[in-house]
Amino acid sequence: MVAQYFETNCWIIAPNQNSECFVVDPGIGTPNLMAPIRDKIQKFNLKPIGVFLTHGHLDHTFTVVPLADGYEIPTIIHSKDRGALLNPFQVIMRGGPTEQILNAFGITKFVEPKNVREVQGEESIDLGVFKIKVIHAPGHTAGSAMFEIDSAYLISGDVLFKGAIGRTDMPSGSDSDMKKTLKNIVLPLSDELIVLPGHGEQTTISRERKSNPYLQDEYLNS
C-alpha cells in the first residue's frame, strides 16, 4: 500500500494467504496507517510477526508504535537510526514539510515501540518462515538498511528506486557514503533480485544496473 503523505510504500510481506507476515515502513496516513494495514492483514488472514524499518525518516516510521505495540511484535531498525524514533529531527530538517504535517496533527512528542531490536550491519535474521539478510547501506541516512528476503526480494528503502536514488542532503545523509553504497553494495547484488523500493514502482537489480543513471560510472566516479 502507499501512504497518503510522501507516497511512501508500506510493504506487507507474506508468502501466501493464511500465513505469517511482516510489515516494512509503516508511514504517515490520517494520521497513521493502522486502519488500512489492519484491513489488509484481516483480509488475507495474516499473522504479523515483525516490523522492519529501512531508516528513521517519519514517512517510513510514523505508524510503527501503534502497529508494533498493537500486535506485540518486534521492531527492527539499524542502530545508527534508532535515535530518530525518539527525536526524528536527528534525520529530517526543521521547518520542512514533515514538521508542517506534525504541527497540523498536533504531534510534539515521540516514543519508541516497546520491543526494539537494533541491527548493526551484515547479519541474518530468521523470522518465522522468512530468512532475511540485513544490509547496512548508508547515504540517505547514516543508518539506512536494506533487507534481502529469501534471496529473491530486496527491500531497498530510500537507497534505490526505479531510475533514481534517495536524496543525501538531509541530516546524517552523505553523498560520498551513498556512492560507496551503490558501488560496493548495490552493484554486486544478484541481477534476479526484485527490488521493492521505499517510493515508486518495483524494479529489478538487472534493470537498474542497465538503466539507472546513478549506477553508472559517470556518477559513481564523479
The answer to whether residue 34 is domain-embedded is: yes
Q: What is the mean pLDDT of residues 2-27?
A: 93
The answer to whether residue 95 is domain-embedded is: yes
The answer to whether residue 71 is domain-embedded is: yes
DSSP string for residues in 29-65: -SS-SHHHHHHHHHHTT-EEEEEE-SSS-HHHHTTHH
Structural domain containing residue 69: 11-220
Closest by Cα among 43, 216, 2, 15 to 127? 15
pLDDT for 200: 97
Per DSSP bridges, beta strands 194-197 and 153-157 are: parallel
pTM of the model: 0.95
Percent of the chain with pLDDT over 90: 83
Q: Largest alpha-carbon pair distance within the chain?
A: 49
Q: Fill in the DSSP letter of residue 185.
A: I
Tens digit of pLDDT for each residue in 107-133?
Answer: 888 999 999 999 987 889 988 889 999
Tens digit of pLDDT for each residue in 71-90?
Answer: 999 999 999 999 999 999 99
pLDDT for 83: 96
The answer to whether residue 20 is domain-embedded is: yes
68: pLDDT confidence band, cut at 50, 70 and 90? Answer: very high
Q: What is the mean pLDDT of residues 16-37?
A: 91
Tens digit of pLDDT for each residue in 147-205?
Answer: 999 999 999 999 999 999 999 999 999 999 999 999 999 999 999 999 999 999 999 99
Residues 50, 33: Cα–Cα separation, whole Å = 16
The answer to whether residue 5 is domain-embedded is: no
Residue 31 has pLDDT above 80, yes or no: no
Residue 222 has pLDDT above 90, yes or no: no
pLDDT for 33: 82
The answer to whether residue 3 is domain-embedded is: no
| CATH code of the domain containing 142 | 3.60.15.10
Q: State CA 216 to chain mean position distance.
A: 24
Backbone angles phi, psi at 35, to 5 degrees: -60, -50
pLDDT for 43: 96
pLDDT for 122: 84
The answer to whether residue 117 is domain-embedded is: yes
Number of domain units in the chain: 1
The answer to whether residue 51 is domain-embedded is: yes
